[in-house]
Amino acid sequence: MPKQRSADPRTRIIDVASTLLSEEGRAGVTTRRVAELAGVQAPVIYRLFGDKDGLLDAVAEHVMADFAATKSAAVAGSATRGVDPVAGLRAGWDMTIGFGLANPELFVLINDPARGPSPSTEAGIRILADRVHQVAMAGRLRVSEAEAVELIHAAGTGAVLAILRRPESERDTGPADVLYEGLCQRILTASDSTGRAPADPVIAPAVTLRAAVSDLAVLSPAERAMLGEWLERIIAQG
């Protein structure tokens, strides 16, 4: 592995540790090897990151921040090009599944319950929320935006972790595809080609209107807040 030669020691260390994690797993990320390959003394790693766990956390944040930026750009590009929001939602799902399968050690690390929520993970959830909001504004969402975000995030995480339990030679996106189709049955209204049961004639419009409440300049802030509360109560009964 070639040594990284960024001018910034912290960046150099994270780049080396990220490569080791990807190629050799957590066991390959030792402070001694990272220090050697990054061209620094081991005490520098302890000073910057505290310990190996701190270094791994920094690696996770770095890689996830890059992935979140890529997804954010994709969301913005889809909106600019007028891409169907439902197709955009599927594209975001595929990106997440693909990232998880391409970065198994990192994906398991960032989804370790002991780590707790991280800034990059929260950023990813906000990007998902933006995609879901676009679907709601298009009148295609049959549950609340919050419920849709929670279900998609949980399903995507669970799908990747389940696939990663298989031997590497047997991993494919089949289970994730099946899970996504079931998820669509739950959260999306029917289109002519889906064959899904029609959405509740009250709930789906309520979800769409709730998505647009903040833009209703004709109403006062208090009126928008009240309308939003009423709509949320209607949606919750769906």
DSSP bridge partners of 141: 188
Q: What is the pLDDT of residue 93?
A: 95
Together in a domain, 41 and 138: no
Q: For residue 82, is it within any domain?
A: yes
**What is the CATH classification number for the domain harbouring 95?**
1.10.357
Q: For residue 205, is it within any domain?
A: yes
Together in a domain, 105 and 183: yes
Together in a domain, 136 and 102: yes
Together in a domain, 114 and 176: yes
Residues 56, 26 contacting (CB under 8 angstroms): yes
Q: What number is the average pLDDT over the span 1-5?
A: 46
Q: How many domains does the chain have?
A: 3
Q: What is the pLDDT of residue 112?
A: 82
Q: What is the pLDDT of residue 218?
A: 87
Together in a domain, 157 and 93: yes
Q: For residue 221, is it within any domain?
A: yes
Q: What is the pLDDT of residue 60?
A: 86
pLDDT digits (tens, 9 = 90+) for 140-195: 998 999 999 999 999 999 999 999 999 999 999 999 999 999 999 899 987 644 44
Together in a domain, 153 and 210: no
pLDDT digits (tens, 9 = 90+) for 175-185: 999 999 999 98
Q: For residue 58, is it within any domain?
A: no
Domain region containing 131: 64-196
- In which band, very low, low, confident or very high, does the pLDDT at 1 lie, cut at 50, 70 and 90? very low
Q: For residue 218, is it within any domain?
A: yes
Residues 100, 107 contacting (CB under 8 angstroms): yes
Q: For residue 29, is it within any domain?
A: yes
Together in a domain, 129 and 232: no
Residue 86: other Cβ atoms inside 10 A: 19
Q: What is the pLDDT of residue 23?
A: 86
Token pair recorded at residue 79 = 């909106």
**What is the CATH classification number for the domain harbouring 10?**
1.10.10.60
Mapped to the 3 state alphabet, what secondary structure does the chain carry? CCCCCCCCHHHHHHHHHHHHHHHHCHHHCCHHHHHHHHCCCHHHHHHHHCCHHHHHHHHHHHHHHHHHHHHHHHHHHHHHHCCCHHHHHHHHHHHHHHHHHHCHHHHHHHCCCCCCCCHHHHHHHHHHHHHHHHHHHCCCECCCHHHHHHHHHHHHHHHHHHHHCCCHHHCCCHHHHHHHHHHHHHHECCCCCCCCCCCCCCHHHHHHHHHHHHHCCCCCHHHHHHHHHHHHHHHHCC
Together in a domain, 83 and 190: yes
Q: For residue 55, is it within any domain?
A: no
Q: What is the pLDDT of residue 4?
A: 41
Together in a domain, 45 and 145: no
Q: For residue 56, is it within any domain?
A: no
- In which band, very low, low, confident or very high, does the pLDDT at 49 lie, cut at 50, 70 and 90? very high
Together in a domain, 74 and 187: yes
Residues 141, 132 contacting (CB under 8 angstroms): yes
Together in a domain, 192 and 206: no
Together in a domain, 189 and 207: no
